[in-house]
């Protein structure tokens, strides 16, 4: 089974979900509907996991799995079948490392700096200052120079910590990273196969990044691990700030010459990624009680909630759903 097929069987559940929404989530599309589907299906951590994922390739893989009986398709929806669950268990691919993936952890940016840091460390071990950096990106070079300076140029200690980290990694991640090293008299594994999706490398970098952050005995590498990216666009952040300051959707749209739909998209995007909102800004106490009664009865769909609280508009119901789902995520994170 190829890598993408194994990934899909791993993350698609027995509950139906939109095919195009999952592709959009994996490839990093930020529309509110795609992000909400990711939140609803507990897949939000996979946002932008595979930015190079071609839609045609994705859909072809989905149909191949359906032809094999591993996925069931219904119009624009898909779900994993019992046969798909069995095939996943028997497959040789190991995707447990997906647990290390976080939407806000920029594994690719971390990797660019990590690989150059390894090269710097290797060349320093041989007292070679005439090597060509593996990247021409001036920002990456500057950051790694800063890291090397702050680490005190302590080669032996840095190497020892790196070995310690690799001993803690899964064999798959350790191999994936080591194969890509550029070091003194070493230019990577010549037998390394091209990874069109980049999934194996991203999983390895995600595991390493988390290992550095959680370790208390690798101080020389701490400075490279804390990469975070802002998932909410600047425009959406401004909208959320203005809304929390008391401006209405209509006022924000008029002041910034935007469509109402754009402003409501901003609020949903911000809420999905954890921006704090006061529920009272969207619905009254009585309306929230009506929505909560339906929610606790298992009525989580938009139409069911709308029927439970007549008179509400789309944004009010959708933001209730978002805030409820975010609360579940936040509670789980603190367990």
Q: What confidence score (pLDDT) does residue 192 get? A: 74
Q: Higher-confidence residue: 23 or 183?
A: 23
| Residue 130, helix vs strand vs coil | coil
pLDDT over threshold 80, residue 12: yes
Provide mean pLDDT across the span 296-309.
Answer: 95
Q: What confidence score (pLDDT) does residue 187 get? A: 80
pLDDT digits (tens, 9 = 90+) for 88-144: 876 655 678 999 999 999 899 999 999 999 999 999 989 888 888 999 999 999 999
Provide the residue ranges of all domains of the chain, joining segments of one domain with +: 3-93, 107-225, 234-333
Angstrom distances, CA of residue 318 to CA of 76, 262, 274: 21, 15, 14
Q: What confidence score (pLDDT) does residue 5 get? A: 92
Give dist(CA 57, CA 55) in Å, integer. 5
Q: Packing angle between helix 155-168 and helix 171-178, nearest 10 degrees?
A: 140
- Considering the entire predicted model, what is its pTM? 0.89
Provide mean pLDDT across the span 167-175.
Answer: 94
| Residue 80, helix vs strand vs coil | strand
Q: Hey, what are 107's tokens? A: 């594994």
pLDDT digits (tens, 9 = 90+) for 48-85: 999 989 999 999 999 999 999 999 999 999 999 999 99
Angstrom distances, CA of residue 100 to CA of 34, 173, 275, 328: 22, 11, 22, 19
What's the helix, strand, coil split of the chain in %, to 5? 60, 5, 35
- Split at pLDDT 50, 70, 90, the class of 320 is very high
Q: What confidence score (pLDDT) does residue 266 get? A: 97
Q: What confidence score (pLDDT) does residue 91 get? A: 62
| Topology adopted by domain 3-93 | Arc Repressor Mutant, subunit A (1.10.10)
Mean pLDDT computed over every residue of the chain: 92
Give dist(CA 18, CA 70) in Å, integer. 16
Angstrom distances, CA of residue 20 to CA of 23, 54, 76, 77, 222: 5, 12, 8, 9, 38
pLDDT over threshold 70, residue 334: no
Q: List beta partners, residue 71.
A: 80
Q: What confidence score (pLDDT) does residue 333 get? A: 64
Provide mean pLDDT across the span 35-48.
Answer: 95
pLDDT over threshold 80, residue 269: yes
pLDDT over threshold 60, residue 170: yes
Quick one: CA dihedral 327, 329, 334, 335, positive or negative?
positive
pLDDT over threshold 70, residue 191: yes
């Amino acid at each position: 089974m190829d890598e993408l097929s194994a990934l899909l069987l791993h993350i698609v559940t027995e509950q139906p979900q939109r095919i195009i929404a999952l592709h959009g989530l994996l490839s990093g599309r930020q529309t509110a509907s795609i992000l909400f589907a990711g939140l609803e299906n507990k897949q939000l951590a996979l946002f932008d996991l595979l930015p190079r994922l071609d839609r045609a390739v994705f859909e072809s893989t989905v149909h191949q799995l359906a032809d094999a009986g591993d996925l069931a398709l219904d119009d624009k929806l898909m779900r994993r079948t019992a046969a798909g669950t069995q095939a996943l268990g028997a497959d040789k691919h190991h995707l447990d490392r997906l647990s290390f993936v976080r939407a806000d952890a920029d594994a690719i940016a971390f990797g660019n700096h990590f690989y150059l840091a390894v090269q710097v460390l290797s060349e320093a071990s041989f007292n070679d200052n005439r090597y060509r950096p593996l990247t021409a990106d001036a920002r990456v070079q500057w950051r790694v120079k800063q890291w090397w300076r702050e680490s005190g140029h302590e080669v032996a200690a840095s190497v020892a910590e790196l070995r310690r980290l690799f001993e803690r990694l899964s064999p798959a991640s350790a191999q994936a990273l080591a194969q890509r090293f550029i070091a003194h008299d070493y230019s990577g594994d010549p037998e390394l196969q091209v990874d069109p999706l980049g999934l194996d490398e991203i999983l390895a970098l995600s595991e390493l990044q988390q290992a550095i952050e959680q370790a208390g005995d690798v101080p020389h590498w701490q400075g490279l691990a804390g990469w975070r990216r802002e998932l909410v666009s600047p425009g959406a952040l401004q909208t959320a700030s203005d809304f929390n300051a008391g401006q209405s959707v209509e006022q924000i749209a008029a002041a910034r010459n935007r469509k109402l739909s754009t402003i409501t998209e901003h609020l949903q995007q911000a809420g999905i990624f954890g921006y704090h909102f006061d529920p009272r800004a969207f619905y009254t106490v009585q309306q929230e009680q009506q929505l909560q009664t339906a929610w606790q009865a298992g009525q989580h769909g938009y139409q069911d909630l709308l029927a439970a609280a007549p008179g509400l508009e789309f944004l009010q119901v959708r933001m209730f759903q978002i805030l409820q789902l975010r609360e579940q995520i936040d509670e789980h994170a603190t367990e």
